[in-house]
Every structure is written in C-alpha cells, then in structure tokens.
Amino acid sequence: MLDVLTQKIHDEARQGEAYAPFINDPTQYKKRFYIESYGCQMNFSDSEIVASILNGTGYGATRNYEEADLVFLNTCSIREKAEQTVRKRLTEFRKIKQARPGLLVGVLGCMAERLKSKFLEEEQLVDIVVGPDAYRSLPALIEEAEGGQKAVNVLLSREETYADISPVRLNSNGVSAFVSIMRGCNNMCTFCVVPFTRGRERSRDAASIIKECKDLFDRGYREVTLLGQNVDSYYFTPETGNGEPGNLSEAVTFARLLEEVAKISPLLRVRFSTSHPKDITDDVLHVMARHNNICKYIHLPVQSGSSRILQMMNRTYTREWYMAKIDRIREIIPGCGISSDIISGFCTETEEDHQDTLSLMEYSRYDLSYMFFYSERPGTLAQRRYKDDVPESVKKRRLQEVVDLQNRLSRESNERDLGKTFEVLIEGDSKKSGEDWMGRTSQNKVIVFSKQGNTCQKGNYVHVQVTDCTKATLLGEVV
Ligand code: SF4
C-alpha cells in the first residue's frame, strides 16, 4: 500500500500546490519542461529521475507551465479519486494548449501504465504516454511527438532500476532526500493496482545505493529515506565484485543494506518506507537497535484488523500474527514509533470485522495512520473475485470511526511525550511561522520550536524538550 509519505504528499498535491521542480539555469537549456507529481513517494522520486533524463535531452526545468514547451503529469492510480484529480488537471491544460498548440503534454506513472494508449483516446490533448519502467525512452518519444506523432511506451521491465541515473533533487529542503532502492511488488494484495502498474520486484545494485547516500551526505544532506513499495524484501545479488567502495561480494539483504548505509556517518539519519509486515525480520529490528542514526520508526500497514478480511486481501498474515509483530518491534526497539494504513469497507466487511479493526488499532496504539475507504480498482484481483458490496454510506461511517479513534491515539501518543527531550534534525522553517524551526524526532514526529535564543541552523541536530502538543505536532524548546 502506498506509504506514509504518500498521504502527506497527496495532501500537499491536493492543496493545488502540486510539486513543480526547482528551476534550472535558463541560459543552459533552450527548451523548458514543467512536471507535476501525484501519489506516492516513488512517483516523486521517479520525477527526479525524469528531470535528470530531460536535462540530458536539452530540457531545463521551470516552475511556470506558462513558459514550458513540455508539460508532464506523473500520475497515481491507487484510488478512483487520484485518477479524477489527474483528469481535472488535464482539462486545465487543455485550455493552455488551445492557446499554445505547440505545447507538448505527457502523462507518466501508474495511471499511464494502467490505461496505456487508451489514454490518448480518452484525453485527446495528451501527446506522450509513458509507464514507470520506460523513462529512458523519453528522448525518442519526445522527438516523435515533436514530429507530430502520438508517442507511447508502457513496457514493464524485470531489470530496470535506473541505478545509473543521478536524480535531480526537486523541491528539496537540502536536508532530507529519498533514495529509491527497489521497484515493483510481488505481493499481489487483492485490492492493489501496483503490481500491474509497476511490475515485478527488482532490487537496485547495493553499491550504487550506498554511493548515492554518500554523495548526498557529502553535499550536506543529513537524512536519507530508503524507498520501495516493499523495502524489506530488498535482496540484491551482485554478479561480480567491482573494487568500488562498497564492493559487496555476497547477497545483500535489506538488514545488510540498512547497516551499510548507517555506517556512512553517525550524522546521517536513515529512514525507510514501506514495510510489508511479513518481511520485517528480527535482523532488521536488531540492526535498527544497534545504530543510533537509524530512525526508530516503522510504517507497518495492516489494512484491516479482521483475519477473515486479511485473507480476502491476500495480506498473508492474521490479526494475531500482526499483533505479535507489534510486540516484537516494541521488545527489540522500546519506544519505536509505529504508523499504519487502514482500509474501511472492503468487500463483505461486517460490523464485527470493523470492530476487529478498531480493537487492533487500540492494541497497536499507532502514532499515526493513513485511512481510506475501499475504492475498487479495475483489473485487480478483488475486482475480479469479489463484489464491492459495502454501501458507500457505511464505508464512510466506518472510516469516520477509524479516523476518530486514530485522532485520539495520536493525541495520547503526543501527550506521552510531554516533558521528554528528543534529538531533532532541523528541516527548515515551520509552515505556520518563519519565527519557528520545524524538525522531526527519530520516531518521525514533527516538532516545532522557536528560533529565539539559539543559533541553530537548518540541517543541525538539536535537543528539544516537549512543552506542549496537538494531535499532529509536538511543541517544544531547545535545551
Ligand atoms: S500489492 Fe500489497 S504490498 Fe504491494 S504495493 Fe500493493 S498493497 Fe503494497
């Protein structure tokens, strides 16, 4: 399931402030591209790969689509609403294209992969359709479109990881960066489109990941988040040793990779997302416990608290097994922050199943969750096997109960931190006021504190004592 950051980024995208990239030096490039990204962090990370490929094709980035020669929407398909958002956005570009017929419009990402060339029939203004594994073909596709042809490449790959392409950091705060370590997913959860839009799992060359994290650290970044639809199933077998730093001769598991990245510097914080519960091993937990700079936070999507529904979702674990995993995490990493994803109203869900979800949330005491009601997706196993039979009004009522419970759990979690002191990495100004810094604790909690009376800078680590809180934010002062 899309992870934590997904929702956060969704929210930001929904606020109409879709992420337009930093601007390249206008003199360097004759042509300009504008890219808007939607959905999960993998999509945002992919947009950074796309920006690098386009820079290599003579296109510089602009934040202003009015001056762009080429506009790309990097799309999401996880829920019907995500696709509606893209279609609505395309109607706005239709007007611009009518005024500037030479403008090229392209769609990337999961919706492009799901619809393929049908996208061209449904959205006439679209010139280019490219799936998540075909971004290397962009230069040729753009040439075709510049020649007046419609251009499509939606081939999925079993090898492609873009390991050799250095992402162009878009919209970066210069402190934290995402590093994609694997692509695709083999889990086949019945409600999910990802295996169909992003293909089979493949892990990226471990040496290239470590090199990218080192480069980021040398460039002043102080946090990396290792990304994948299911990072814990990362498994890389190097064909040959190459003498490069990080020459790893035997197979690299996720626990091993995490440790290698943590060893780069104790000043480099390491996070990862997303974990499938079945793949989070004791090895990973012990590596996390051994390294201070590996953040004590795990996003562990559960989706439902009912074992019957979990089986229909093909999640491969039961409620009891999942609760034991929560216990194991807290046993090996006391105080570890845990968040989750919940789907309300999945096919045949009864009131009793719903109560199972509420009681499991109560048991897990999540700091935070991403909560949705079930949205049937075309082509998924659930769509083929089950009737979407829970009325929308019931889905919404149950979702509201899940949200209300989570709001209480989040507040209680923050109240438990009152008076405690945390090491915080400063990411920048707080959204609300330039007088305050914003940063996060190792447990991934946002904390805001005044700039008054301290000489801290962005990218610094600082100790902050919690003096107050809301359900979403800790408030504190430097000690
Ligand atoms: S198939 Fe399951 S594990 Fe894979 S991305 Fe979808 S929800 Fe996540």
User: Is the model's pLDDT at 259 over the cut of 60?
Assistant: yes
Residue closest via CA to ligand 1's atom 5 equals: 1
Residues 118-147, mean pLDDT to the nearest whole number: 96
Residue 235 host element (H or E): strand 235-236
| CATH classification of the domain holding 464 | 2.40.50.140
Evaluate if residue 388 carries a pLDDT over 80: yes
Confidence class for position 29, pLDDT limits 50, 70, 90: confident
Is 354 among the domain residues?
Answer: yes
Determine if ligand 1 sits within 6 Å of the CB of residue 192. yes
Indicate if 301 and 444 belong to the same structural domain: no
| pTM for the full predicted model | 0.91
**428 and 411 in one domain?**
no
Collapsed DSSP state (helix, strand, coil) of residue 23: coil
pLDDT tier, 16 (very low <50, low <70, confident <90, very high otherwise):
very low
Specify the number of domains making up the chain: 3
Banded model confidence at residue 361, pLDDT cuts 50, 70, 90:
very high
Q: Are 463 and 368 contained in the same domain?
A: no
Is 290 part of a structural domain of the chain? yes
For the chain, the C-alpha Rg in angstroms (whole number) is 22
Question: Cα 200–77–405 angle (5° rounding)?
Answer: 105
Does 447 contact ligand 1 (Cβ within 6 A)? no
Residue 270 maps to a domain = yes
What's the gap in Å between 251 CA and the centre of ligand 1? Answer: 24
* Calpha distance 411→407 (Å, rounded): 6
Question: 2 alpha carbon to ligand 1 midpoint, in Å?
Answer: 7
Ligand 1, atom 2, lies closest to the CA of 189
Pocket probe mutation, ligand 1, options 43, 110, 180, 185, max atoms within 8 Å of Cβ: 185
* Whether the predicted pLDDT of 247 surpasses 60: no
In a domain, 21, yes or no: yes
Q: Is the CB of 169 under 6 A from ligand 1?
A: no
Residues 141 and 267 both lie in one domain: no
The whole domain housing 264 covers: 176-415
The answer on 229 and 104 residing in a single domain is: no
Beta-strand runs (E) in 345-445: 368-373, 421-429, 436-440
- Paired strand residues for 36: 73
CB of 185 within 6 A of ligand 1: the answer is yes
Best of 194, 198, 278, 370 to mutate for ligand 1, by most ligand atoms within 8 A of CB? 194
Tell me how far the alpha carbon of residue 246 lies from the centroid of ligand 1, in angstroms: 30
Cα–Cα distance between 336 and 345 in angstroms, integer? 29
Query: Does the Cβ of 382 fall within 6 Å of ligand 1?
Result: no
- The pLDDT of residue 26 is 60
Q: Are 372 and 244 in a shared domain?
A: yes
Q: Are residues 474 and 335 in the same domain?
A: no
pLDDT in tens, 54-97: 999 999 999 899 999 999 999 999 999 999 999 999 999 998 99
- Pocket lining: 182 vs ligand 1, CB cutoff 6 Å: no
Pairing of strands 269-273, 297-299: unpaired
Taking the centre of ligand 1 as the mean of its atom positions, its distance from the CA of residue 380, in whole angstroms, is 11
Those residues with Cβ within 8 angstroms of residue 101's Cβ, 6 or more apart along the chain or in another chain = none
Residue 193 alpha carbon, nearest atom of ligand 1: 6
Q: Name the 3-class secondary structure at 169.
A: coil
> Residue 190 Cα, ligand 1 centroid: separation in angstroms?
9
Give the CATH number of the domain where residue 185 resides: 3.80.30.20
User: Ligand 1 pocket, 6 CB below 6 A?
Assistant: no
Residue nearest to atom 7 of ligand 1 (CA): 1
Is 161 contained in some domain?
no
Residue where one domain finishes, among candidates 119, 153, 187: 153
Check which CATH number belongs to the domain holding 49 and give it: 3.40.50.2300
pLDDT digits (tens, 9 = 90+) for 274-304: 899 999 999 999 999 999 999 999 999 999 9
Same domain, 407 and 425: no
In angstroms, what is the span from residue 144 Cα to ligand 1's centroid?
34
Q: Whole-angstrom Cα distance, residue 233 to residue 159?
A: 16
| Distance linking the first and last C-alpha atoms of the chain | 39
Does residue 213 sit in the same domain as residue 330? yes
